[in-house]
Amino acid sequence: MNTHHGSCLCGTVKFEVTGEFESFFLCHCKHCQKDTGSAFAANLFSTHAQLKWLQGESKVKIFTLPGTRHAKGFCSECSSALPNVQMDGKLLVVPAGSLDTAVTAKPNAHIFCASRASWEDTLAEAMKFETFPS
């Protein structure tokens, strides 16, 4: 059984996920673009894994967009994306970037591609740097 550890950017919140992720989706919907500020959200999904808050649980906030199933967990100190439980406790959603341990799974699919950002098509052509360019 896999155990993953994660945290927020400021280190206030720390968590552990025990179990397997069933899916790894890159979501291009407009809601995910807005809440990440990027072209897509990279989220891991599980119906069986268990989430345990190790530190800072009182700083975890959940925002659910009214009229949708879209929800986002985040740290109230630094606004980093954090896991959340959806569908009446049946689905754990973990932002891949919130994990401190390596994610060995590869994304299963790009979803909501009809909403893809127009500039995303040229990402592979952009220059690449190991650090901030000088």
pLDDT digits (tens, 9 = 90+) for 17-40: 999 999 999 999 999 999 999 999
Phi and psi angles of residue 23, each rounded to the nearest 5 degrees, phi first: -140, 150
User: Do residues 86 and 93 touch, judged by C-beta distance below 8 A?
Assistant: yes
What is the layout of strands, in order, in the sheet containing 81-82?
Answer: 60-64, 71-75, 81-82
Pick out the chain residues at pLDDT < 50: none
- Kindly tell me the burial class for residue 125, based on how many C-beta atoms sit within 10 Å of its own C-beta (0-12, 13-18, 19 or more): exposed
Q: What is the pTM of this model?
A: 0.92
- Alpha helices of 50-111 — where are they, by DSSP H? none
pLDDT confidence of residue 15: 98
Domain ranges of the chain: 3-116
- Provide the CATH number for the domain formed by 3-116 in this structure: 2.170.150.70
